[in-house]
A and B are shown apart, each in its own frame.
Chain A
Amino acid sequence: MSQDSQSILSVRGLRMGFASGYAHTRQVLAAVDGIDFAVHAGETLALLGESGCGKSATALSLLRLLPAAGRILGGEVCFDGRDLLQLPESEMRTVRGGGMAMIFQEPATSLNPVMTVGRQIGEVLERHLDLTGAATRQRALELLDAVGIADAQRRLDEFPFQLSGGMKQRVMIAVALAGHPKLLIADEPTTALDVTIQAQILDLLRRLQAERGMGMLLITHDLGVVAQMAHRVGVMYAGEIVEEAPRNAFFASPRHPYSQKLFAALPDLARRGGRLETIAGQVPSLAAMPTGCRFAERCPHAWERCRDESPGWHEAGESHRVRCHLMAEPGRAVAPVPRPVTLVIPLVDPRPALLAVRDLAVHFPIRRGVLQLTVGQVRAVDGVSLDLVRGRTLALVGESGCGKTTVGKAILQLVKPTAGRIELEERELNGLSRAELRPLRRRMQMIFQDPFASLNPRLSVGEIIGEGMSALGVNTQSAGRNDAVVALLQEVGLDPAAAGRYPHEFSGGQRQRIAIARALAVQPELIICDEPTSALDVSVQAQILNLLKALQDDLGLAYLFITHNFAVVDYLAHEVAVMYLGRIVERGLVDEVLRSPRHPYTQALLSAVPSPRLDAQPECIRLAGEMPSPANPPAGCHFHPRCPQASALCRASYPETSRLTATHAVRCHLFGSAEQNK
C-alpha cells in the first residue's frame, strides 16, 4: 500500500486510562500512552501484542466506547477529516457503524439472543441508511449473501442460537458492514473460532476488504493471522507502539527485542527437543509503569539508559520504525546464547502401555418431554482407542466439539464412560467403585484449560496443592506436607512463599504453574493436559511448555495432551491422534501425521493453521461448512459432507482402520479397501 494514498484514520498521541482507587486516592492510570498510527483505504494495519498491552483499549477509544472507568486523556483521532475526540455524542453515533464498525472477539455474546438476524442487521440499516420495510430486508439479504451465508432468506428470520459459531461471526461481519463503514475494526475476530472456521473468516474479511476498499484495524495476538492478513504491523507493548513496519520487513527482520522474542517463543519443529525462548517476567501493571523503556525489565539487552530514558522512534528501513535504544547503539546488543537442540525422536517403545484405552464411548442421553424419556444420544466419544507409554506424550488434536476433552475426563472417570475399556497398567478402571478408584487416582491427574477457573479462589495456594495429598493420603504429617508443598513450588518455578498467598494474586502463567504443582503433588505417572496453554499469551505459553517438557524428562511422566494448537503438538508430542466427531481419524508418530498427513481432514486442518512465516504458507485446503452435531452424525464417514474427496462409498459406510506403517493408522476409504482394489 503506498504511503501517499489518503489515510482514513490517523491517530496522534492518543492516551487513555482507567480511573482507579477510592475518592481521594482516585487516579487515572494510562493504559494507552501516546500512540500514533494511520490506516489507509484498502489497507490492514495489525496491532499485535500480548494481553494487557492496551490493544482493545485503543480500539474502544477510537469508537469512544469506553468502559465506565475509562477516560480519554488526550491526543487526536482524525477520521474523515474530523477529530472524533471533539465530536458531540450525537454525531459520534453516526460515526459508529456508519464510519467505522467493529467486530468483537466472541460471536456468541455479541449478538442479541432475542432478536432475529434480520432485525439486528436492519437496525443498522435503518439508523445509517434510512432504509425501511422491504428495502431493509432486501439489503440485509444482500449482506448475508456477501458474507457467505447459504440460504440467506431463511437465516434472516432465525435467532442467533440457531446459528453455529462461524455463522454468528459471519452475521456479526454483516452487521458491521451494513452501514458501509470505511474502517473496520476487528478485535481478535477469530480467536474464539476453530482453525478451519478461522481460515474461512479470514478469507472472507480479506475478500470484503478488497471489494470495498475498506481500511481495517486488526487486533490480534496471533503472528500467524498477522502474516496472512496485515499490510502493516504495529507491535504494542504496555500501552505503547514499540515497532511499526510493513509486513514483509517485519517478518523478515523484526527489530525490537520484544518482537524478536515473540517470534522466538513460538513453538515449532525446529525447536523440538530444546527449550523454547521465553520472556522473563510479565507486562508491567498500569500502576507500576517504569519511567524508562517499558520493556527494559524483560529485555536481555537492557542497560542503564533503557531504565532511565524512554526511547524515541528510530528509522530502521522504509516506513519501518522502532522504539529502542539499540537502534542508536547497536553495539550493545547481547548475542543470544545458542541453545542446544537435541532432536530425539524415539522409535516405537517396546515397553507395555501405561494407559490403554479400547473402544471408549461416552454417550450423553438427550431427554425430552414431561417424563424425560431418552429420545437420542449425543455420541461425544464413539469408539476411541489409544495407547500411551511412560515418558511419552500423546497429543489428541481436534476442533472444539470433537470430544477430545470428554476422552480425557472419561479416562479420569470424571465422566462415566458408556462402553469400552480403560486400563491403567492392565488394571481395568471402568466399573470400579469410588473407593476402589481412589488408590488409582494417585497415578493419573489432570491439568485444566483455564487457570482462572481451576483454582478455588477461597483457598490458599498451600491448601490447593495440599488437597490432593490429604485426599489420597500422601504425606499425612502436616510438617512433611508443608515441605512437600515448598518442594513442589520450587519444582514448578515459584517462590515457596507463594504457599500462603491466594490465587488472585497470581498471573495466568503462575496460576497454571500452581495447577501443575497440584497435579504433581500426588506423584502421578500420567497427566492429562486439557489445553493447558490455550488461555495464555505466547511468551507465557513457552514457559509452561518448557516446564512440562522438563518435568517429563525428570520424572518420566506420560502426557495425554489435548489441544487444538498444532505448533504445540509439534514441539511437545511424540505421537498424535486426530479426532473428528468422537472418533480418531488418524494417528501416528508426530512426523508421520504432521509431515505427511493422509486423512483429508488432517490435511485440511494442517493447511488451515496460519503460519507465522511469510514463505511457508502452504496452499490452504478450505473445508466447507462446520462440524456436524454429534447428536446426529452424518451416515457413513462422518467427514464426508465436508470432504473434497468423498465418494459414494464414504456416504455408505464408516471406514475401517488402515495401517499405513507400524505406527501410522488412518480411517479413510481412500486407503484401505480402496487402495487394495487398485
Chain B
Amino acid sequence: MTFLPVILWSDVLIWLLVLAAIVLGVLSSRNPPLRAAWQRVGRSRPGMAAATVLMAFVLVGLLDSLHYRPRLESREAGQPVAYSVEVLSLLDAMVTPLRTRSEKTYSQPLATRAYTKEAFDVRDADGSLRQVRDFPRLKFGGAHLGDDEARRDDDIVKRVLAAEALACAILAGIALGGSYLLARRHACSARQIWSALWRGELSVAWHAVLATLGLLLLLLMPLAVLSVDYHVFGTDKVGQDVLYQILKSVRTALVIGLVTTLVMLPLSILLGILAGYFRGWVDDLIQYLYTTLSSIPGVLLIAAAVLMMQVIIDTHPQWFATAAERADLRLLALCFILGVTSWTGLCRLLRGETLKLRELEYIQAAQAFGVSDLRIILRHILPNLMHIVIIALVMDFSSLVLAEAVLSYVGIGVDPTMISFGTMINNARMEMAREPMVWWSLAAAFVFMFTLVLAANLLADAVRDAFDPRLAGSS
C-alpha cells in the first residue's frame, strides 16, 4: 500500500453525522408532516440558494475528512515500510500544489514578488557581485512568466476569461443534464420543464439552485484556474498559501458547528423532556442544574476545560502517533465543552414546550389508555418537539462557528497547529498592526466565514419558516 489510512475521531463523528443525515432524510420522507415541511424548505428560494452554498462547503469539509499517511520512499531495500508522520487528507492530495508551494514570507494576492524588500546579491554583466535591496521574485507565484513579469496582467485576464468560459460551459452542462433528468421524472418535454423552472413552478426552487451554482462557478472557477500558478489570496508570514488555509479552515468550522450539536442535543432533549414531563423534583433538579451552569461565564468554563485538556495532552505524549491526532483530540475536547456549556438554552425551550404539550388532550387520552410514560414521550412528545430541535440545530450552527473564531482568537480554541478561521484571524491580528499592512489574510478569512455563516443563517430562516407550526401554511 502506498498509504496508511488514518481514522481521526472527528472523522468518525463527521461520517456518523452524514449517516445520521441520510437516515433522517429517509425517515422524514416516510413521515408526511415532516416531508411536507422539508418540501416547504425546498420551495423557499433563499433557503435553497443557501443550501447550495452550504453544500459546497460541506463537500470541501468531507474531502478533508478522509485522512491517510503516505508511505515514505525507503532509501534502502529491505527496510521495513515506513509512513510519513504527516497526516494528509484527500483534499490535501487534490490541492498538493497549494500545500507544498510555500514562499518565504508575505506576498500580496496574485503577486509575482514578495511584499517586503530584501537584500540580495545580483551578479552584474561584468561578473561582479552587487548587493541590491529590492522585492525578491517569488519562487512559485507567477513563476511560469519567467522574467517577463509585465505579462502578468495580460496573463491573468486571459486566464480569467478562459475560466469564465469554462464555468459557463459547465453550467450549461449541469442545466441541460438537470433539466433532462427533471423532464424524465415529471414525464414532460424539456421545454416545458424549462419554462416551469424559470417561473418557479416546480416543487423545488431549482432556479435558485441553478442561479447559485452559476454564481459559485463564475466566482470560483477563475480562483481555481489562477491558483495553479499564482497565490490568489496571497501568502502569510511563513509563506503558506492563504487559499489553502481557507480550504482547511472549512472542516474545522464544520466540525465545531456540527459535532458540538451531537454533544448538546442528547443532553438538552433528554433533560428538557424529563423536566417538562415529570415536573416535581425532577424538574427542580434539572432547572437547578441549568440555571447554575448558565450563570457561570461560558468563556471561563471553556478556558478552564481547554487548559486542563491541554495539560492532559501534554503529559501523555505516548497517546498520539502524530501531531494531527493530538490536534484532533483538542478539537473534540473543544466541541465537547462547547456542547456542555450551550445545551441550556435549547433545554429550557424544550422544557417549556413539553410543559405545554403534556397538558394537551391527546397526551391525556394516551394516559387514559394506560400508555407508559416512555412511550408517550417517544410517540407523542418527541415528534412534536422536532421542529424546535431542527430550528435550534440550524441556528446554533452559525453561532458555534463564530464562537470558535472568538475562542481561538482568545487562545483557548483549537490547537495552534490546526488551521481554522479563528487561528487565521488571530494571526492576522499581528499583521494588521504592521506597516505596510497585510490585509488579505484577514479579508479572505472574513469573506469565507461570512459566506458560511450567512448561508447557514438563511437556511435556518427557511427551516424555521417551514417547521414552525404557527407560520406553516401562512405564506
Instruction: Tell me if A69 is interfacial: C-beta within 8 Å of chain B.
Output: yes
CA distance A454 to B200 in the complex (A): 38
Across the interface, do A458 and B474 meet the contact criterion of CB distance under 8 Å? Answer: no
Nearest-Cβ distance from residue B409 to partner chain A, whole angstroms: 42
Instruction: Tell me if A518 is interfacial: C-beta within 8 Å of chain B.
Output: yes
In the complex, what residue of chain A is closest to B34 when comparing beta carbons? A458
Which one of B370, B383, B475 lies within 8 Å of A471 (CB-CB)?
B370
On whether A438 and B474 interact (CB within 8 A), knowing A448-B364, A458-B383, the answer reads no
CA distance A502 to B365 in the complex (A): 17
CA distance A504 to B32 in the complex (A): 11
Nearest-Cβ distance from residue A452 to partner chain B, whole angstroms: 9
Instruction: Tell me if A61 is interfacial: C-beta within 8 Å of chain B.
Output: no
| Neighbouring B residues of A412 by C-beta, 8 Å | 368
| Neighbouring B residues of A434 by C-beta, 8 Å | 370
Which one of A450, A458, A518 lies within 8 Å of B384 (CB-CB)?
A458
Within 8 A of B (CB), among A444-475: 444-446, 448-450, 453-460, 464, 467-468, 471-472
Across the interface, do A445 and B368 meet the contact criterion of CB distance under 8 Å? Answer: yes
Instruction: Tell me if B251 is interfacial: C-beta within 8 Å of chain A.
Output: no
On whether A22 and B361 interact (CB within 8 A), knowing A441-B368, A456-B380, A458-B383, the answer reads no
Across the interface, do B371 and A518 meet the contact criterion of CB distance under 8 Å? Answer: no
| Neighbouring A residues of B31 by C-beta, 8 Å | 458
Instruction: Tell me if B75 is interfacial: C-beta within 8 Å of chain A.
Output: no
CA distance A25 to B199 in the complex (A): 10
Across the interface, do B367 and A414 meet the contact criterion of CB distance under 8 Å? Answer: yes
CA distance A393 to B380 in the complex (A): 32
Which one of B32, B367, B372, B384 lies within 8 Å of A502 (CB-CB)?
B32
| Neighbouring B residues of A414 by C-beta, 8 Å | 364, 367-368
CA distance A384 to B366 in the complex (A): 26
CA distance A449 to B359 in the complex (A): 13
| Neighbouring A residues of B474 by C-beta, 8 Å | 68-69
| Neighbouring B residues of A456 by C-beta, 8 Å | 362, 379-380, 383-384
Instruction: Tell me if A522 is interfacial: C-beta within 8 Å of chain B.
Output: yes
Instruction: Tell me if A515 is interfacial: C-beta within 8 Å of chain B.
Output: yes
Across the interface, do B361 and A453 meet the contact criterion of CB distance under 8 Å? Answer: yes
The size bracket of the interface on B is 20 to 34
Instruction: Tell me if A409 is interfacial: C-beta within 8 Å of chain B.
Output: yes
Q: How many residues of A contact B (CB 8 A)?
A: 38
| Neighbouring B residues of A24 by C-beta, 8 Å | 199-201
Mark contacts of B145-158 with chain A using CB atoms, 8 A cut-off: 1 yes-contact digit, 0 otherwise: 00000000000000
| Neighbouring B residues of A471 by C-beta, 8 Å | 366, 369-372, 375
On whether A454 and B362 interact (CB within 8 A), knowing A22-B43, A459-B379, A502-B32, the answer reads yes
Instruction: Tell me if A23 is interfacial: C-beta within 8 Å of chain B.
Output: yes
Mark contacts of B9-42 with chain A using CB atoms, 8 A cut-off: 1 yes-contact digit, 0 otherwise: 0000000000000000000000111000000000
Across the interface, do A453 and B360 meet the contact criterion of CB distance under 8 Å? Answer: yes
In the complex, what residue of chain B is closest to A412 when comparing beta carbons? B368
| Neighbouring B residues of A453 by C-beta, 8 Å | 360-362
Across the interface, do A446 and B364 meet the contact criterion of CB distance under 8 Å? Answer: yes
Which one of A22, A23, A458 lies within 8 Å of B33 (CB-CB)?
A458
Nearest-Cβ distance from residue B204 to partner chain A, whole angstroms: 12
Instruction: Tell me if A437 is interfacial: C-beta within 8 Å of chain B.
Output: yes
Q: B31, B361, B365, B475: which has the most chain A beta carbons within 10 Å?
A: B365
Which one of B364, B375, B383 lies within 8 Å of A409 (CB-CB)?
B364
Across the interface, do A518 and B32 meet the contact criterion of CB distance under 8 Å? Answer: no
Across the interface, do B365 and A518 meet the contact criterion of CB distance under 8 Å? Answer: yes
Across the interface, do B365 and A23 meet the contact criterion of CB distance under 8 Å? Answer: no
In the complex, what residue of chain B is closest to A452 when comparing beta carbons? B361
In the complex, what residue of chain A is closest to B382 when comparing beta carbons? A458
| Neighbouring A residues of B201 by C-beta, 8 Å | 24-25
Closest CB pairs A-B (n = 4): A454-B361, A448-B361, A458-B383, A468-B369
Besides A409-B364, A456-B379, A458-B380, 10 other CB < 8 A contacts?
A24-B200, A438-B370, A441-B368, A448-B361, A448-B364, A453-B360, A458-B384, A468-B369, A471-B370, A471-B371
**Could you list 23 A-B pairs, sorted by A, with CB under 8 Å?**
A22-B200, A24-B199, A69-B474, A437-B370, A441-B368, A446-B364, A448-B365, A449-B361, A454-B360, A454-B361, A455-B362, A456-B384, A458-B31, A459-B379, A459-B380, A467-B369, A467-B371, A467-B379, A471-B370, A471-B375, A472-B369, A518-B365, A519-B365
